[in-house]
A and B are shown apart, each in its own frame.
Chain A
């Protein structure tokens, strides 16, 4: 099993550009999550989807949108990237207890 797959692994954007981070899981999990990790800040929740067809805001949703395309896929979109969105982004999925994380997308906005 691949688990949770994130693409791309690295990305550099210019301020104002848009992009979509892709996430797919093959474990038939109902819940999926997007976190960002900044130095000294731990992980902060951006958005989550408790089940297919539902999405909810987390702690830091401003500047982001999400789409739960189907049970497998949960994408994160930056409509107009800002330098403050420079971070490492992690997607995770879960069923009952314990999260499975992807390997992350390192995003730099210049």
Chain B
């Protein structure tokens, strides 16, 4: 069963705008990760946030984590057409070395 649920399922924005995607999960986690998937390709790791962190930045990406609400958000600032992709959150459980559980993803379209 899916641990993470992304919201919205699909998002369409203009180039230069910010894109926000949300992820909710059900059980306590060790960390939460975000991945990008371009059409027809494998997933690429973007950023990891640990359960004791609240916010993390990487370039134009900003991730927040609220463990009390069991939710996370991914913000992409000043979006570009090349950001068009599907974005997935994935959670690692508390037990050591448990595989990631992925959500169903948000499909982002950035229109030039």
Q: Which A residues are closer than 8 A to B by beta carbons?
A: 4, 31, 33, 35, 40-45, 48, 50, 58-59, 90, 92, 97-104
Contact = CB atoms under 8 A, between A and B. Distances in A.
Contacts of A102: 42
Most buried by A among B88, B97, B100: B100
Contacts of A58: 99
Contacts, number: 49
Nearest to B89: A42
A104 B38 CA distance: 12
Interface of B: 1-2, 31, 33, 35, 40-45, 48, 88, 90, 97, 99-105
Chain A, interface SS category: strand
Contacts of B40: 104
A102 B48 CA distance: 19
Across the A-B interface, give the 9 residue pairs with the lowest CB-CB distance, nearest first: A101-B42, A42-B104, A43-B102, A98-B45, A101-B43, A103-B42, A42-B102, A48-B99, A50-B97
A14 B33 CA distance: 37
Contacts of B41: 103-104
Contacts of A101: 42-44
Nearest to A48: B99
Contact of B99 (A45, A90, A100): A45
B25 to A, nearest CB: 13
15 contacts: A31-B97, A42-B102, A43-B88, A59-B1, A90-B42, A98-B45, A98-B48, A99-B35, A99-B45, A99-B90, A101-B42, A101-B43, A101-B44, A103-B41, A103-B42
